[in-house]
Amino acid sequence: KKTDNHILVIFGASGDLTERKLIPAVFNLHCRGFLPDNFAVVGVSRSAFTDEAYREKVVFENEHLKDVGGNGDRAKFAKRIYYHAMQTNNPADYPIFRDRLKQISLECETGDNCIFYLSTPPSLYEVIPRSLAEVGLHREQDGWKRLIIEKPFGYNLETAIDLNQKLLQYFSESQLYRIDHYLGKETVQNLLITRFGNSIFEPIWNRNYIHHIEVTAAETVGVEKRGGYYDGSGAMRDMVQNHLLQLVALVAMEPPVQATETSIRNERMKLFQSLRALSEDDVVNNVIRGQYTQSKIKGESVPGYREEEGVATESRTETYFAMKFFIDNWRWSGVPFYIRTGKRLPTRVSEIVIHFKPTPHHLFSKGNGLPNTENILVIRIQPNEGILLKFAMKIPGAGLQATDVNMDFHYSDLNDAYIPEAYERLLLDCIQGDATLYARGDAVEAAWEFVDPILKVWESNPDIKIYGYPAGTWGPEHADDLLEGDNITWRYPC
Cβ-in-10-Å burial (0-12, 13-18, 19+) of 44 comes to buried
Total interface residues for ligand BG6 by CB under 6 A: 3
Q: How far is the CB of 305 from ligand BG6 (least distance, A)?
A: 13
Contact with ligand BG6 (CB under 6 A) among 214, 231, 238, 308? 238
| Nearer to ligand BG6 (CB atom), residue 238 or residue 374 | 238
Site string for ligand BG6, 388-427 (x = CB under 6 A): ----------------------------------------
Neighbours of 480 (CB within 10 A): 15
Q: How far is the CB of 343 from ligand BG6 (least distance, A)?
A: 7
Minimal CB distance to ligand BG6: which residue? 238
| Nearer to ligand BG6 (CB atom), residue 274 or residue 350 | 350
Residues 199-228, interacting with ligand BG6 (CB under 6 A):
219
Judge whether 343 is annotated as a binding position. yes
Q: How far is the CB of 430 from ligand BG6 (least distance, A)?
A: 18
Under rule CB under 6 A, residue 481 binds ligand BG6: no
Note every long-range contact of 473-476, with CB atoms under 8 Å and residues 24 or more positions apart, other chains counting. 473/295, 473/345, 473/346, 474/218, 474/345, 474/346, 475/288, 475/290, 475/320, 475/322, 475/340, 475/342, 475/345, 476/288, 476/290, 476/320
Under rule CB under 6 A, residue 351 binds ligand BG6: no
Under rule CB under 6 A, residue 267 binds ligand BG6: no
| Nearer to ligand BG6 (CB atom), residue 14 or residue 246 | 246
Of 30, 138, 243, 355, the active-site residue reads: 243
Note every long-range contact of 133-140, with CB atoms under 8 Å and residues 24 or more positions apart, other chains counting. 133/169, 133/170, 133/171, 134/91, 134/94, 135/94, 135/95, 135/97, 135/98, 136/98, 137/94, 137/98, 137/101, 138/170, 138/171, 138/175, 140/175
Does 243 qualify as catalytic in the annotation?
yes
| Nearer to ligand BG6 (CB atom), residue 227 or residue 336 | 227
**Main-chain dihedrals φ then ψ at residue 394, nearest 5 degrees:** -70, 135
CA distances from 177 to 153, 167, 265, 371, 448 (A): 11, 11, 13, 49, 17
| Nearer to ligand BG6 (CB atom), residue 94 or residue 177 | 177
Q: Which of 410, 348, 340 is nearest to 379 (CA)?
A: 410
Q: How far is the CB of 134 from ligand BG6 (least distance, A)?
A: 31
Judge whether 207 is annotated as a binding position. no
| Nearer to ligand BG6 (CB atom), residue 5 or residue 216 | 216
> Residues 329, 335, 337, 338: what is their CA dihedral angle, to the nearest 10 degrees?
160
Site string for ligand BG6, 297-336 (x = CB under 6 A): ----------------------------------------
Q: What is the spatial distance between Cα 278 and Cα 4, in angstroms, rounded to a whole number?
A: 46
Judge whether 238 is annotated as a binding position. yes
| Nearer to ligand BG6 (CB atom), residue 137 or residue 148 | 148
Q: Is the separation of the CB atoms in 489 and 373 below 8 Å?
A: no
Q: How far is the CB of 350 from ligand BG6 (least distance, A)?
A: 6
CA distances from 17 to 118, 208, 235 (A): 11, 44, 19
For residue 73, the Cα-to-chain-centroid distance in whole angstroms is 31
Judge whether 21 is annotated as a binding position. no
Q: How far is the CB of 219 from ligand BG6 (least distance, A)?
A: 5
What residues contact residue 240 under an 8 Å CB cut-off, 6+ apart? 321, 323, 339, 341, 451
Judge whether 185 is annotated as a binding position. yes
Q: How far is the CB of 89 from ligand BG6 (least distance, A)?
A: 23
The answer, yes or no, to whether the previous bond of 152 is cis (omega within 30 of 0) is yes
Binding-site residue numbers for substrate are 181, 185, 219, 238, 343
**Interface ranges with ligand BG6 (CB under 6 A):** 219, 238, 350
Catalytic residues: 243
Binding-site residue numbers are 46, 151, 181, 185, 219, 238, 343
Binding-site residue numbers for NADP(+) are 46, 151
